[in-house]
């Protein structure tokens, strides 16, 4: 058992003065090895933090894009939610077409028209007025379909227009 430490654990050099030995992670390094270790360590740190920075930037970018997408989705769905809450369209059991209409289809089936007719009349609207409103809605939908085909209308405008049309339909 040596009473005096004088050996470098890395390059095994001996007779090193105590003050020139540096303790690193449990081993003792001579001056030369210690300097090498520090240079490597610094390089490693730079590399690691460099990667970290990149990862952080990427994460932030992803977050921003996710948030952007989430917001635009919210924006798109808002008018629809509003329609469903304020002016629920009549539900026809088992009718896939009706679901489609709610999900952006711009077409009213005969069944849907009949259903609307019944509901509007039940709300105390005059029969002729009900017919007129359904006729107007059908025409507006036709018009929207045309605009959509010709790419003259954006998704947002489309939702807004549909909402306006439905408000008109249910107004007293």
- Contact positions vs Zn ion (CB under 5 A): 8, 10-11, 13, 30, 33
| C-alpha 119: how far from chain center | 37
**Angle ∠(11,15,18) on CA atoms, nearest 5:** 95
Q: Which residues of 65-95 are buried (b: 16+ CB within 10 A; e: fewer)?
A: eeeeeeeeeeeeeebeeebeeeeebeebeee
Name beta bridge partners: 27: 24
Q: How far is the CB of 8 from Zn ion (least distance, A)?
A: 3
By C-beta, is 8 or 134 nearer to Zn ion?
Answer: 8
Name beta bridge partners: 24: 27
By C-beta, is 22 or 147 nearer to Zn ion?
Answer: 22
By C-beta, is 41 or 152 nearer to Zn ion?
Answer: 41
By C-beta, is 30 or 108 nearer to Zn ion?
Answer: 30
Q: How far is the CB of 4 from Zn ion (least distance, A)?
A: 17
HSE-up of residue 91 (Cα within 13 Å, Cβ side):
4
Q: How far is the CB of 23 from Zn ion (least distance, A)?
A: 13
H/E element, 6: none
By C-beta, is 38 or 155 nearer to Zn ion?
Answer: 38
Name beta bridge partners: 28: 23
Q: How far is the CB of 5 from Zn ion (least distance, A)?
A: 13
Q: How far is the CB of 21 from Zn ion (least distance, A)?
A: 9
């Amino acid at each position: 058992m040596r009473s005096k430490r004088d050996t470098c654990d890395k390059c095994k050099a001996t007779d090193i003065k105590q003050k020139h030995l540096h303790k690193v992670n449990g081993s003792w390094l001579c001056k030369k090895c210690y300097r090498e270790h520090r240079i490597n360590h610094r390089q490693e740190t730079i590399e690691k933090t460099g990667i970290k920075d990149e990862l952080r930037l990427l994460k932030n970018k992803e977050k921003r894009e996710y948030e952007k997408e989430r917001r635009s989705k919210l924006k798109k769905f808002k008018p629809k939610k509003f329609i469903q809450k304020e002016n629920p369209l009549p539900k026809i059991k088992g009718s896939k077409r009706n679901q489609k209409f709610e999900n952006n289809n711009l077409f009213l089936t005969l069944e849907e028209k009949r259903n609307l007719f019944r509901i509007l009349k039940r709300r105390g609207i005059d029969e002729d007025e009900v017919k007129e409103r359904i006729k107007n809605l059908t025409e507006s939908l036709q018009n929207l379909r045309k605009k959509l085909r010709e790419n003259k209308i954006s998704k947002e405008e489309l939702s807004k227009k549909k909402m306006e049309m439905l408000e008109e339909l249910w107004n007293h």
